[in-house]
Amino acid sequence: MQRYFRLVLFAVVLLVVLAIPVAAVLARTYFLAPTAQPVKAQPIQFPHQVHAQAMGLDCTFCHRGATTSAQATIPALEFCMNCHKVIPWQGRPELEKLVQAFESGQPVQWTKVHQLPDHVHFVHAVHLNFGFQCADCHGDVAAMGKPGVKQVRDLRMGDCLTCHQQNNARTDCSVCHY
Query: Could you tell me the smallest distance in angstroms from the CB atom of residue 107 to other proteins?
Result: 5
Q: Minimal distance in Å, beta carbon 79 to other proteins?
A: 6
CA-CA distance, 41 to 148, in Å (whole number)?
A: 8
Which residue from 35, 100, 111, 162 is in contact with other proteins, where contact means CB under 8 A?
A: 111
Question: At its nearest, how many Å lie between other proteins and the CB of residue 87?
Answer: 17
Cα–Cα distance between 94 and 145 in angstroms, integer?
13
Measured CA angle at 42 (ends 26, 52), to 5 deg: 100
Tell me the C-alpha distance between 99 and 76, whole Å: 12
Smallest gap from Cβ 166 to other proteins, in A, equals 25
Is the C-alpha dihedral spanning 135, 137, 139, 144 positive or negative? Answer: negative
Instruction: Tell the smallest beta-carbon distance from residue 102 to other proteins (Å).
Output: 6
Q: What is the CA radius of gyration of the chain?
A: 23
- Among 24, 54, 55, 143, the residue binding other proteins under the rule CB under 8 A is 24
Among 25, 50, 126, 135, binds other proteins (CB under 8 A): 25
φ, ψ for residue 41 (rounded to 5)?
Answer: -70, 140
Exactly one of 70, 83, 87, 126 binds other proteins (CB under 8 A); that residue is: 70
List 47, 110, 154, 164, residue binding other proteins (CB under 8 A): 110
Binding of other proteins by 32 (CB under 8 A): yes
Q: Is 7 helix (H, G, I), strand (E, B) or coil?
A: helix
CA dihedral 118, 115, 112, 136 (to 10 degrees): 140
Residues that bind other proteins (CB under 8 A): 10, 13-14, 17-18, 20-21, 24-25, 28, 32, 65, 68-71, 73-80, 101-102, 105-112, 115, 117-118, 123
